Structure 1
């Protein structure tokens, strides 16, 4: 049975962060998830890739069409959720729509920050993980190579990424709403990954009075802090030192919140209710959402920043139209390649059958030549026998056909076996 490209997932358009964080898969969980998916469906899911970021969790499959109705339940089970909790937020794309979705995601058209480039790197990481897990076959490999090519074309030929307001820049601007000039603020970064590195660069440009990095691995914290002449601290010191900071930006891979309501409430009292901006870029979230109830704490989640960023993105719709046109054209090209793949087994069988006929006739001719038969006669017999065997099946089909079948065959045979009339 032929395979379809299928895509299942949820993103910042379809689900709030409170749902997304429950199905988010850190990189170390991708292989168990891919193994579990293929184990659950066997040969019905022959290839799979999982893309999981703070804004989306998506499964890309080369699979038999009938599995489509069952994969959402598998995703819920894998994440210990009830299917009815997840289904209202899930989307599904099949065939050309699945291909189009992949192209749009990689090009930044489906991102919270329109045109942002990070998603392309995240997709490449997901593809490498699938390749390492042995779940990336010919179809998905070709799909993602084409996806990366389309993304490059969109970014080169359109202004989709121009003047985009990044999440890091938005973090600075939201902090400025509360404090105005940031030169007297003290900033704490929790985590030392790519997003924190981006944020630290933006905040460093505002020359705050102090910048500190707290991370599980001290070495990574020191490497990042050295880039802006900052300091480091232990995560274990957060309860005692949180009150020292005006701005807290957190983005770790923790599966549970690391800053709870009680801890932040205590820090707020110690600050004598001076305002504190807390920016949580993690999914799952690093800061308990109940913290937003505190009067003097301004908590922003990744969704809050996304809404702010979207307001700044609306002016680039002309670039979006241009990008969509490029993507539509490339989807057609890819679907043509997929359609051509369907005839590959037929062509292979035709070639194998023809090779078998040729080999049998060659063996026969060689035996006759070895007996001393006349070479011209052997060659003539070889050619005639070969022609008869090639034509045997279509001639039998034509003789046995009737009515519309015979008419269709008579129309088709001249195209399959073209000949020139020797009288012309």
Structure 2
């Protein structure tokens, strides 16, 4: 059984390229089906897609990295060579190590952040529901979760961590003298927006509003922070009311265009606007960044801010890597054992067949009234002969070299002393 993985992330690919390969959670199941149908023998598969990465994990009878890359490139509308120049690929132990590091937060933009673990668990759940998760990948991911838990509980990898949401608040504080005097609009109502709203709410802004496609979900989030809810359709006409805008939706196209922002600035008499686009693909057209009175930040722009405290966590990284090394070795040992399972099953089946044959013969002897001791003797002799028949045949056939190999094997399996 081979295990392989490939992906792109915030360190290997620019935001717009990552946006081509972003899969919303409801897109993953049909995407998995397409992937497996495009590969030979339909391997086990799972897709992890976040704002910072898209990764494919597979397990099958043989590695199929090239065809997996071809499929992913086609799905994103780029050439395989283009994708290869930004992607990373791994097999076997390297793939397991990468999965363990991702789950533990060691491969994240925010070192040690816990959000990726929940996203990975969601990816595994969807793969399982789609029937794409088999024994091997299930073991890989369950061990990833166990390693991540040990890293989290045994090290200080999450200490001093600054989240993307906290970074957004820090940047806003550099632009506005008093965050308690600003009006904040959050576009979307997912986990990232919930985190951002929590951080901004702690600074007691003048008002908070949630714009979401589904009003019910927006109302639920707005009620937590004493805010109002509005429809996405009303966003262009009300954009000028807000000093800060934080957006993160699953839209495949920008929902805040250059024209809407220009009109908002005009209505604001060019008072500055702070905008954060946490979505991949983008929610806000990139041309907005060129406007003089707009301060627009993307997930990649926040990279330097979230690195604060990185040095304080390097000792914890070394401890985490030791835990991960042990996890990788344990997984590889399990994989090696899996290769002998078919042979073990065959041996057990053969031994059971012999046992049933001898038991049936013994019952017939007892039914004929034969002595019980003689029946037991015949039963044990019959089983012994069946077990030794193959070994005896090897010792009496073949050339000298074959007999020498058979002699060594037979001594090892039948004549070793119990310790």
TM-score (normalised: structure 1): 0.94
Name the SS for the 1:60 alignment partner: strand
- Choose from 8, 11, 15 the match for 1:10: 8
Question: Distance between the aligned counterparts of 1:137 and 1:283, measured in 2?
Answer: 29
CA 1:156–1:373 in structure 2 vs 1: closer, same or farther (change >3 Å)? same
SS for the counterpart of 1:148 is helix
2:197 corresponding residue in structure 1: 200
Give the drift of 1:403.
Answer: 4.9
8 Å Cα contact 1:165/1:313 also seen in 2: no
Aligned equivalent of 2:56 = 59
SS at match of 1:61: strand
* Mapped partners of 1:128, 1:334: distance in 2: 20
Aligned ranges for residues 401-416 of structure 1 at < 5 Å? 401-416=398-413
Partners of 1:232 and 1:193 in 2: how far apart?
A: 14
Verify: 1:26 aligned to 2:24, yes or no: yes
- Once superposed, what is the RMSD of the aligned Cα atoms? 1.7
Matching of residues 5-404 of structure 1 within 5 Å: 5-43=3-41, 45-404=42-401
Q: Deviations over 1:321-345 (max 9, x none)?
A: 0001100011101111111111111
Change in 2 beyond 3 A, CA 1:368/1:392: same
Tell me the distance in 1 between the aligned counterparts of 2:231 and 2:412: 76
1:354 shift after superposition? 1.1
Displacement of 1:84 in angstroms is 2.6
- In the TM superposition, what is the alpha-carbon distance from 1:355 to its structure 2 partner? 1.3
Matched residues in 2 for 1:314 and 1:401: separation? 67
4+ long deviations beyond 6 Å = none
How many residue pairs get aligned? The number is 418
2:39 touches 2:67 (CA, 8 Å); kept in 1?
Answer: no
Q: Deviations over 1:107-132 (max 9, x none)?
A: 00001111111111111111110111
> Contact conserved, 1:255 with 1:284, CA < 8 A, in 2?
yes
Give 5+ residue unaligned stretches, structure 2: none
Structure 1 stretch 58-67 or stretch 103-112: which is displaced more? Answer: 58-67
Distance 1:403 1:123 in 2: 57
* Contact 2:32/2:132 (8 A) holds in 1: yes
Give me the whole-angstrom Cα distance separating, in 1, the residues matched to 2:57 and 2:63: 15
Alpha-carbon distance in 1 for matches of 2:270, 2:82: 38
Q: Which segment is superposed worse, 226-235 or 129-138?
A: 226-235
Moved more, 361-370 or 328-337: 361-370
Contact residue 277 and residue 297 of structure 2 kept, 8 A = yes
3-state SS, counterpart of residue 23 of structure 2? coil
Q: 1: distance between equivalents of 2:9 and 2:73?
A: 15
1:271: how far off? 2.0
Native 8 Å contact 1:24 1:57 kept in 2:
yes
**Greater mean alpha carbon deviation, residues 229-238 or residues 92-101:** 229-238
Distance 2:293 2:74 in 1: 40
Deviation per CA, 1:360-383, whole angstroms, max 9, x where unpaired? 222223333333334333332332
Counterpart Cα distance in 1 of 2:316 and 2:308: 16
Secondary structure of 2:142 counterpart? helix
Per-residue Cα deviation, 1:14-57 (whole angstroms, up to 9, x for no partner): 111111110000011101011111212252x3311111111111
Farther off after superposition, 121-130 or 263-272: 263-272
For the 8 Å contact 1:214–1:234, the answer to whether it is kept is yes
Q: For 1:183, what is the secondary structure of its paired residue?
A: helix
| Structure 2 Cα separation of the partners of residues 57 and 85 of structure 1 | 15
Q: Distance in 1 between matches of 2:395 and 2:265?
A: 89
The separation in 2 between residues aligned to 1:66 and 1:119, in whole angstroms, is 26
Deviation at residue 401 of structure 1 after TM alignment: 4.5
Deviation, 1:66, is 4.0
Judge which range, 310-319 or 18-27, deviates more: 310-319
Alignment gaps of 5+ in structure 1: none
